[in-house]
């Protein structure tokens, strides 16, 4: 796809003039929100919250004008996006968009639209939201560009394969799939070679769709930037080892967006440098995310996006701060494995060892490490109806951690973005029992 001159000029105009104007308006709106007064149980909000809103607003705003100026790809969160960056693809992440729809309370509406076309309510909410968007065009982001390519990896689940196949069928566009063997014990050299060869075989297809030539030197540069982004994100998360922690995991759920959807780009790197500086300043000054941090918790699984604020407040009232999560850790754990000097091999290793493509012992060991390093007192596990691969094994993990570490824990049943699968009375009852047992065991 060769860029269209007029559309390229329009994109540049919006990038150089439209987006900065939108940023100014976003700054004014954020200032108005900050002036509403402090929350009784939370410390001062992060200054970088406003910066993040501007960054993501800019990303979705420019996506409206990307078609014709850039090749456009829709990408799963676990796919090796570095290959697309080389060829100047504008990338959209439906999972990030699904989380946004959930947070904006639009998830159920879009899920229902997909179900009206025959898709089961048992299907992942992200998939139903994306398909619902396809059928209705509705989105809190204004408008999403139609992709020229779908780029997926089955390292997070098999659902994405069939979900993206459905989109490829509807739009009659190519689907490129990165197949990662499940890591039962340890990856073999043969498996690494298989995945590395796949990545190299993708290049002619990506070149044909983009109309650009692939440059390995450029790939090495982008890998270097992506590795730095992952390292910075890891350092951001590490600041929560401090007492009091300078932010909560609910803050981290929100600030996760750039490492997922803008990985390898300068905007991602700049955001995390700025956020890290702010968090370190808060640690040095003893500023906590909560006004009182009595106990420290770990969260397992994806956030309940439509209930983040309410859940955060419920725990903050009791001085309970979530300081780590298996979900947010995922992009810090493997991103640093990539190596510019061994681009294809290291991408294969990094993307095949994400938490959902790994054995349960790996997850148990990870949770033990996080509990130890972040001095965790209790565990909350979200059994997400939409994400069965993430929820499988939680009851076994809960039992083992209770036996070996004597750590109080609770499993709440909910969903990532479809509010119909959330029973507020049931969740509150489960958490009230946890609070009582937790206090009895930790006082």
List, in order, residues 6 or more apart from 347 with CB less than 8 Å away: 80, 82, 83, 196, 199, 223, 338
Strand 72-75 vs strand 149-153: parallel, antiparallel, or unpaired? parallel
List, in order, residues 6 or more apart from 378 with CB less than 8 Å away: 295, 296, 297, 298, 320, 407, 408, 409, 434, 438, 442
Q: What does residue 67 show for φ and ψ, rounded to 5 degrees?
A: -60, 125
Count CA atoms closer than 13 A to 19's CA, side-chain side: 21
Encoding tokens for residue 6?
A: 């007029």
**Average of pLDDT values for 308-313?**
94
Indicate whether 437 pLDDT > 90: no
pLDDT of 292 reads 96
- Does the pTM surpass 0.75? The reply is yes
Share of the chain above pLDDT 90, in %: 87
Question: Counting every residue, how long is the chain?
Answer: 443
Number of folded domains that form the chain: 1
The pLDDT-based confidence of 32 (bands split at 50, 70, 90) is: low
pLDDT, one tens digit per residue, over 64-114 is: 999 999 999 999 999 999 999 999 999 999 999 999 999 999 999 999 999
Q: Rounded to whole angstroms, how far apart are CA atoms 270 and 258?
A: 10
pLDDT of 25 reads 77
Residue 272, domain extent: 5-442
Among residues 165, 170, 139, the alpha carbon closest in space to that of 152 is found at: 165
Among residues 351, 369, 336, the alpha carbon closest in space to that of 187 is found at: 351
Q: Rounded to whole angstroms, how far apart are CA atoms 407 and 368?
A: 10
Q: Rounded to whole angstroms, how far apart are CA atoms 441 and 443?
A: 6
pLDDT of 35 reads 47
The pLDDT-based confidence of 30 (bands split at 50, 70, 90) is: low
Q: What is the mean pLDDT of the chain?
A: 94
pLDDT of 2 reads 64
pLDDT, one tens digit per residue, over 93-105 is: 999 999 999 999 9
pLDDT of 167 reads 97
Indicate whether 374 pLDDT > 80: yes
The pLDDT-based confidence of 193 (bands split at 50, 70, 90) is: very high
pLDDT of 24 reads 80
pLDDT of 38 reads 57
pLDDT of 443 reads 57
Block residue for tokens 């148990």: 364
pLDDT, one tens digit per residue, over 235-244 is: 999 999 999 9
pLDDT of 146 reads 96
* Cis peptide, bond prior to residue 244, ω within 30 of zero: yes
pLDDT, one tens digit per residue, over 263-283 is: 999 999 999 999 999 999 999
**Average of pLDDT values for 178-191?**
94
pLDDT of 1 reads 62
pLDDT, one tens digit per residue, over 111-162 is: 999 999 999 999 999 999 999 999 999 999 999 999 999 999 999 999 999 9
């Amino acid at each position: 796809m060769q860029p269209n001159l007029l559309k390229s000029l329009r994109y540049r105009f919006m990038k150089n003039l439209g987006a900065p104007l939108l940023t100014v308006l976003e700054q004014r709106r954020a200032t108005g929100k900050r002036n509403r007064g402090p929350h009784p149980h939370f410390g001062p909000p992060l200054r970088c919250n406003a910066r993040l809103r501007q960054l993501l607003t800019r990303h979705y705003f420019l996506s409206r004008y990307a078609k014709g100026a850039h090749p456009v790809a829709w990408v799963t969160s676990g796919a090796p996006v570095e290959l697309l960056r080389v060829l100047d693809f504008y990338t959209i992440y439906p999972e990030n968009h699904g989380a946004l729809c959930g947070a904006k309370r639009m998830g159920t509406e879009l899920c229902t639209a997909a179900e009206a076309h025959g898709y089961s309510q048992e299907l992942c909410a992200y998939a139903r939201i994306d398909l619902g968007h396809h059928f209705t065009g509705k989105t809190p982001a204004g408008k999403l560009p139609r992709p020229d390519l779908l780029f997926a990896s089955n390292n997070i689940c098999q659902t994405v394969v069939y979900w993206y196949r459905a989109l490829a069928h509807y739009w009659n566009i190519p689907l490129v799939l990165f197949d990662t063997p499940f890591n039962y014990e340890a990856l073999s050299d043969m498996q690494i070679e298989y995945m590395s060869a796949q990545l190299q075989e993708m290049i002619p297809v990506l070149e044909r769709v983009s109309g650009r030539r692939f440059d390995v030197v450029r790939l090495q540069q982008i890998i270097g930037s992506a590795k730095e982004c992952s390292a910075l994100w890891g350092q951001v998360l590490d600041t929560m080892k401090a007492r009091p922690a300078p932010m909560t995991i609910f803050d981290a759920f929100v600030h996760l967006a750039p490492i997922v959807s803008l990985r390898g780009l300068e905007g991602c790197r700049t955001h995390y440098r700025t956020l890290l500086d702010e968090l370190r300043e808060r640690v040095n000054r003893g500023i906590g995310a909560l006004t009182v941090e009595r106990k420290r918790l770990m969260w397992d699984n994806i956030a309940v996006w439509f209930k983040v604020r309410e859940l955060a407040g419920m725990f903050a009232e009791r001085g309970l701060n979530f300081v780590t999560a298996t979900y947010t850790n995922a992009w810090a754990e493997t991103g640093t494995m990539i190596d510019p000097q061994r681009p294809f091999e290291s991408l294969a290793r990094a993307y095949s060892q994400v938490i959902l493509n790994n054995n349960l012992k790996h997850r148990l060991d990870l949770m033990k490490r996080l509990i130890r390093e972040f001095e965790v007192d209790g565990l909350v596990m979200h059994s997400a109806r939409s994400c069965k691969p993430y929820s499988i094994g939680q009851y076994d993990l809960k039992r083992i951690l209770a036996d070996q570490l004597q750590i109080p824990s609770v499993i709440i049943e909910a969903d990532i973005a479809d509010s119909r699968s959330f029973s507020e009375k049931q969740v509150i009852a489960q958490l009230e029992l946890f609070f009582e047992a937790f206090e009895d065991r930790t006082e």
